[in-house]
A and B are shown apart, each in its own frame.
Chain A
Amino acid sequence: MRFAYDTSYRDGHALLRYLPGRLAYSLLMVALLIAPWVMPKYVVGELSYVFIMCIVSLGLMVLVGYTGQVSLGHSAFIAIGAYTHTWLLAHGVPLVPSMLLAAAFTGLIGLIIGLPAIRVSGLYLAMVTLAFAILTEHVIGRWKSVTGGFNGVSVNSPQLFGLDLSKLQSFYYLCLVVLVLVLLGLLNLMRAKTGRAFMGVRDSEAAAYGLGIWVAGYKVLAFVVSASITGLGGALLAHHVGFLTPEGFGLILSLELVLMVTIGGLGSLRGAILGAILISMLPTFISRIKPLLPDHIAKQFGLEIFVFGLVLALFVLFEPKGLNGRWIKFKTFLETFPLYRQDMFKRGKSYMKSERYK
């Protein structure tokens, strides 16, 4: 057990309040900084991809985990971010303004998609976003003059102040910096008035309304924030992929993103990151264990999607709080040892809000 002995007001505001946490995160940061120099090349490339997925997953977490609006269409925002960034780069805009503009434009599209969220909610919103993702894929395929259609379009290599960032190591640092900035920004946003309002809207719209929160405005704002972060991730993804085709931004990507936030644990930024790491590493892991499996299973394409489904099903059934919930249980076990009880995190009864007439 730990008791707070704050000696100034600022102590209470610190993101990391205690020494062990500060040490652990500094060690992690140092490890991440020296990783590109000691790791093999393909691991560095893989890690950059994991960072990008973490950014996107954080973006979706703001919407699904904190505001309670289910979006099954975030692949569309990734695509819009990636294509806008590519188009701007091709027209001579420098890297950083281009990334920011791509994020801003994606946010604008998020605003337009967020407007229906005022009228429809829950399942209906999920369907609207799903349809939006499919439509975006169609539009990208048809709008040849800007997107190159189904033939695809190649992405210019990233240049910053004359430095070429397309090398694996420098691109790794670019992704890391963006991820840390996004994470710090969201950590602060979520404990500020805006974040509290998001959570209020998620837990009870009526109560939030009663407390004077502009529910419709915050719902749309959540869409804008989420979309622009996702667009930023999309801009980085464009560089990682190097060549954009509409097929890369299909429905499966959307579902993978939702998988990340669900498996990570809804309503926590740590969950978004853990989920993104697990899901983006899973294909690599599966291709590693494939040689161990019988030949006729290993040869087929379906193994990956089957494992995805299995992992998701197990989490929904047995650990609805996700990886983050598991982590909190483990931490409590260590902190309260040997006083941990089995029922400490027993789920209270929660009932679904029915839409039926009673």
Chain B
Amino acid sequence: MNPDLAQLLQLTLNGVAIGAIYALVALGLVLTYKATEVLNFAHGDVLMASSFVGWGLIVGLGWPFWLATLTTVLLAAAFSWLLDARIMRLIVGQPQFAGVMLTIAIAFMLRGLVSMSFGPDSRTYPTPWTGQKTQIGTLVVNDLSLAIVGMALLITLVLFWFLKKTALGTSIQAASQNQLAAYLSGIRVKRVTSMVWAISGAIAAVCGLLLAPIALVDIGLWIVVLKALAALVLGGFGSVPGAILGGLLLGVIEQFSGVYLPDGFKDAMAYIVLIGVLILWPRGLLGEAHGRRV
């Protein structure tokens, strides 16, 4: 195969693997945004905290990987449920700014708690795929990347099936579109909303557990939420398919700018994309046209 083409394919593949993580994080953000119109800045810290909890269970207590994953995901879901039911509900109806500030406050507290209980050092833990590689044609792929893409695909498919085909999923959609109408049709809006937060928390935990083996378990992991914001904006804010498309695209864009653009652009690319898209094309790829209401 042509070496240039091979490099192109390899970069795309790496980009898709990272992009799958961005897409999942963005998916978690957009779910809670659609349900409560709160942009959850604490999402990245739930992700970071679950990677620490996962490390504690796998390395600290010596649990098997799958059991630890399951426990962490359930813990994160329970935490997010309580977050919505006990805290976020107190500011329903207040301006959007209050939601932003409250989630930032929760993010700070989570970061402080994790830092106080685990210490600031970076660490890592073994997964069933660590260090193994698979050969596809001339391309060499880490099994970990394959596992990430597979997991992202699985979660997305299950979520779509859940939202489209089950009664509970339909009621979630209904509550996100119009809470009053949903309430009048007999949907328990509060419980459904908390459930959306729990799903979002569970997705964050999965992302944290998948991202940590690549990027180290570190307090700085929360920064991925900013990349996910860029992905959301690129895909069209408030659109679930847009979040996934935007995440994948952003991952690929980052990989390519790391190779073909001057040094330093790779880290900054997500933010350049965010600003550029918002100014030039606020709808994004798949966004709905927003009519502003008076």
Q: A residues near B, CB below 8 A?
A: 70, 116, 119-120, 122-124, 126-128, 130-132, 134-135, 138, 141-142, 206, 255, 258, 262, 266, 297, 300-310, 312-313, 316-317, 320, 349-358
B104: chain A residues within 8 A (beta carbon): 255, 258, 309, 312
Across the interface, do B108 and A320 meet the contact criterion of CB distance under 8 Å? no
- Binding site of A, secondary structure by majority: helix, strand, loop or mixed? helix
Across the interface, do B108 and A308 meet the contact criterion of CB distance under 8 Å? yes
- Which residues of B in the span 245-275 have a Cβ within 8 Å of any Cβ on A? 264, 267-268, 271-272, 274-275
Across the interface, do B282 and A301 meet the contact criterion of CB distance under 8 Å? no
Q: B168 in the interface, Cβ–Cβ < 8 Å? A: no
Contact of A206 among B229, B282, B294 (CB under 8 A): B294
B6: chain A residues within 8 A (beta carbon): none
B106: chain A residues within 8 A (beta carbon): 309, 313
Instruction: List 26 contacting pairs A-B, 8 Å CB cutoff, sorted by A.
Output: A123-B96, A126-B100, A127-B278, A128-B274, A135-B268, A138-B267, A258-B104, A262-B101, A300-B119, A301-B120, A302-B111, A302-B112, A302-B120, A303-B116, A306-B113, A306-B116, A309-B106, A309-B108, A309-B110, A313-B102, A316-B91, A320-B94, A350-B95, A355-B293, A357-B177, A358-B178
Q: B98 in the interface, Cβ–Cβ < 8 Å? A: yes
Among A130, A320, A351, A355, chain B packs the most CB atoms within 10 A around the CB of A355
Q: How far is the CA of A304 from the CA of B93 in the complex (A)?
A: 30
Contact A356 to B178, CB < 8 A, known contacts A127-B229, A128-B278, A131-B274: yes
Contact A305 to B278, CB < 8 A, known contacts A313-B106, A317-B91, A353-B293: no
Across the interface, do A302 and B278 meet the contact criterion of CB distance under 8 Å? no
Q: B25 in the interface, Cβ–Cβ < 8 Å? A: no
**Closest residue on chain A to residue B275 by CB atoms:** A131
Q: B31 in the interface, Cβ–Cβ < 8 Å? A: no
Across the interface, do B109 and A313 meet the contact criterion of CB distance under 8 Å? yes
Q: How far is the CA of A119 from the CA of B276 in the complex (A)?
A: 12
B95: chain A residues within 8 A (beta carbon): 350, 352
Contact of B107 among A123, A309, A358 (CB under 8 A): A309
Q: B151 in the interface, Cβ–Cβ < 8 Å? A: no
Expressed in whole angstroms, the minimum distance between the Cβ of A211 and any Cβ of chain B is 14
A122: chain B residues within 8 A (beta carbon): 96
Contact A352 to B272, CB < 8 A, known contacts A306-B108, A316-B91: no
Among B120, B264, B268, chain A packs the most CB atoms within 10 A around the CB of B268
Chain B 114-125, CB within 8 Å of chain A: the 1/0 string?
111101100000
B109: chain A residues within 8 A (beta carbon): 305-306, 309-310, 313
Among B97, B264, B282, B293, chain A packs the most CB atoms within 10 A around the CB of B97
Across the interface, do A134 and B105 meet the contact criterion of CB distance under 8 Å? no
**Top 4 A-B residue pairs of the complex, sorted by shortest distance between their CB atoms:** A306-B112, A302-B115, A309-B108, A309-B109
Q: How far is the CA of A124 from the CA of B102 in the complex (A)?
A: 17
- Binding site of B, secondary structure by majority: helix, strand, loop or mixed? helix
Q: How far is the CA of A119 from the CA of B292 in the complex (A)?
A: 11
Contact of A258 among B37, B101, B226 (CB under 8 A): B101
Expressed in whole angstroms, the minimum distance between the Cβ of B193 and any Cβ of chain A is 14
Across the interface, do B113 and A302 meet the contact criterion of CB distance under 8 Å? yes
A266: chain B residues within 8 A (beta carbon): 97
Across the interface, do A312 and B279 meet the contact criterion of CB distance under 8 Å? no
Across the interface, do B272 and A135 meet the contact criterion of CB distance under 8 Å? yes
B110: chain A residues within 8 A (beta carbon): 309
Q: B233 in the interface, Cβ–Cβ < 8 Å? A: yes
Q: How far is the CA of A194 from the CA of B233 in the complex (A)?
A: 33
Q: B13 in the interface, Cβ–Cβ < 8 Å? A: no
**Closest residue on chain B to residue A307 by CB atoms:** B112
Q: B237 in the interface, Cβ–Cβ < 8 Å? A: yes
Contact A354 to B93, CB < 8 A, known contacts A119-B282, A308-B108: no
Expressed in whole angstroms, the minimum distance between the Cβ of B123 and any Cβ of chain A is 15
B267: chain A residues within 8 A (beta carbon): 138
B101: chain A residues within 8 A (beta carbon): 258, 262, 312, 316
A353: chain B residues within 8 A (beta carbon): 293
**Closest residue on chain A to residue B176 by CB atoms:** A356
12 further A-B contacts with Cβ under 8 Å, apart from A302-B111, A312-B108, are: A128-B274, A132-B275, A303-B112, A305-B108, A305-B109, A312-B101, A312-B102, A349-B93, A350-B94, A352-B95, A354-B293, A356-B37
Among B106, B108, B120, chain A packs the most CB atoms within 10 A around the CB of B108
B148: chain A residues within 8 A (beta carbon): none
Q: B184 in the interface, Cβ–Cβ < 8 Å? A: no
Q: B167 in the interface, Cβ–Cβ < 8 Å? A: no
Contact of A352 among B93, B268, B282 (CB under 8 A): B93
Q: How far is the CA of A349 from the CA of B93 in the complex (A)?
A: 8
Among A126, A134, A307, A352, chain B packs the most CB atoms within 10 A around the CB of A352
Across the interface, do A124 and B237 meet the contact criterion of CB distance under 8 Å? yes
Across the interface, do B100 and A70 meet the contact criterion of CB distance under 8 Å? yes
A307: chain B residues within 8 A (beta carbon): 112
Expressed in whole angstroms, the minimum distance between the Cβ of A212 and any Cβ of chain B is 17
